[in-house]
Amino acid sequence: MAKGMREIKREIKSKQNTRQITKAMELVAASKLRKAQEAAVAARPYADKLLEVVSNIASGTNGVTHPMLESRPIKKTAYLVVTSDRGLAGGYNANLLRKLTLTIKERHQSADEYAIFVIGRKGRDYFRRRNMPIIEEIIGLADAPTFGDIKAIAASAVNQFSEGVYDELYIYYNQFVNALTQIPTETRLLPLDNLSGEQQAVSSYEYEPSAEGVLEVLLPKYAETLIYSAVLDGKASEQGARMTAMGSATKNATKMINSLTLTYNRARQAAITQEITEIVAGANAQS
């Protein structure tokens, strides 16, 4: 019984140490979540203004066209996936990667029909294990990424579409709703063939040197900005998922500690009762 009590006490100490770690991680994730939400909100006005301008040009009467605005026969599809570098975030990565994998199986017959741009070590490792074609990758992204951190992969994805390497581009990320809810989301990023219906009322602009010249510059920037916004949304979702997961882990550790403490106290009481019984029996035997 004494040995059993030592083992229980050791388990209690182990669970207490684990609870301290998960509680600390929960608090850190909560702090990072607030900063990630602020960054996501701050990026929206720029994206909205770009959308207003490119929509004005695309829906104007000038007959302006651009390869990024035109749909073409789908021969090859690209997917840009936003995942995390670290785990301990519940189903944040698993749900998104499962959704993409099912989509690829439904849409494509072979690996020659699609390609993947991936942000995050978890996604990179997942696709490598399954021998899925990765074009480019970014790992080690900061918790508060700047546009410069994802500029290279965003520009590459947009340019390869413009050059006809593939015929459509989807972005997969976790849309942030709140700390408890993150929705795995698919958005078709390119071609931008629905801009004319995005804005009902836009300002009237005069473009120099020409509408075509402005559109040539702004369309890639707009697409890259959408990618950056998705990354910021994904970062907020990651911290929300990690905060929730660590909160649940802390609660579970507390329940386990309470259960083990109760077991320990019962074992201790039983040991004391047995010792008293033995003492009384010995005294009675000598009388």
Domain spans, the chain: 2-25+245-286, 27-244
> Mean pLDDT across the chain, nearest whole number?
87
C-beta atoms surrounding 128 within 10 Å: 12
* Average pLDDT estimate for 40-69: 75
H/E segment holding residue 264: helix 211-286
- Length of the chain equals 287
222 pLDDT higher than 60: yes
Architecture of the 27-244 domain: 3-Layer(aba) Sandwich (3.40)
* Average pLDDT estimate for 213-232: 87
pTM equals 0.84
Helix ranges (DSSP H) in 59-130: 92-107, 121-129
Calpha distance 188→177 (Å, rounded): 20
Query: Cis peptide before 209, with omega less than 30 degrees from 0?
Result: yes
Q: Confirm or reject CATH 1.10.357.10 for domain 2-25+245-286, answering yes or no.
A: no
Both structure tokens of 120: 């995050």
Amino acid at site 129: R
Amino acid at site 238: E
Please give the distance of CA 248 from its chain centroid, rounded to a whole number: 18
List, for residues 187-203, the tens digit of each pLDDT value.
Answer: 998 888 766 555 444 45
285 pLDDT higher than 80: no
8 Å CB contact between 153 and 136: yes
Confidence band (pLDDT; 50, 70, 90) for 40? confident
Measure CA of the first residue to CA of the last residue in the chain; give whole Å: 29
Q: Which residue has the tokens 């009902």?
A: 200
Instruction: Decide: helix, strand or coil at residue 136.
Output: strand
Q: Which residue has the tokens 């579409």?
A: 161
